């Protein structure tokens, strides 16, 4: 199954699917986390590669230390005001557990660089998706957007 086949909802609650024929970096995000400053680098990545068919997709999640408690409007305002976020944000989503969203069923099946698949460990875990919807690589939270390996992996997928 391709991640393009999984129905998702925008932060506004509108039903949609992920952009086809684009390289995507899907990231579970939170506004009150030590990794929250990664929003700045994620926006920079989005801007750097957007013209080549790339998009960051933020997925707010409140499962890690209740670090994303806000409403959709509060999340949008926080991201826009503090980090100038223009990349798509989906509705608040469970990435682990019995209510894990179908998107994360697909994403978490891929292993990270240490060969570990399964549950998302914390906020700002990143999943690189090829234009055909195949999940190709997983990066844990500690890998920031400016990381050379992450950027090389993105570039490998771009035309």
Q: Catalytic residue positions? A: 33
**End-to-end CA distance of the chain, in Å?**
23
58-97 as b/e, with b when 16 or more CB fall inside 10 Å?
A: bbbbbbbeebbebebeebbebbeeebebebbbbbbbbbbe
């Amino acid at each position: 199954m391709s991640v393009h086949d999984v129905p998702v909802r925008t932060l506004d609650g509108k039903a949609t699917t992920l952009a086809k024929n684009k390289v995507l970096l899907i990231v579970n995000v939170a506004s009150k986390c030590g990794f929250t400053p990664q929003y700045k680098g994620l926006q920079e990545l989005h801007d750097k590669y957007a013209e080549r068919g790339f998009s960051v997709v933020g997925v707010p999640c409140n499962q890690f230390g209740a670090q994303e408690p806000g409403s959709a409007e509060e999340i949008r305002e926080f991201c826009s005001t503090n980090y100038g976020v223009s990349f798509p944000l989906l509705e608040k989503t469970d990435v682990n557990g019995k209510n894990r969203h179908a998107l994360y069923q697909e994403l978490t099946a891929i292993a990270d660089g240490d060969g570990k698949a399964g549950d998302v460990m914390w906020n700002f875990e990143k999943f690189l998706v090829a234009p055909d919807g195949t999940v190709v690589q997983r990066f844990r939270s500690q890998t920031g957007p400016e990381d050379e390996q992450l950027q090389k992996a993105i570039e490998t997928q771009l035309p």
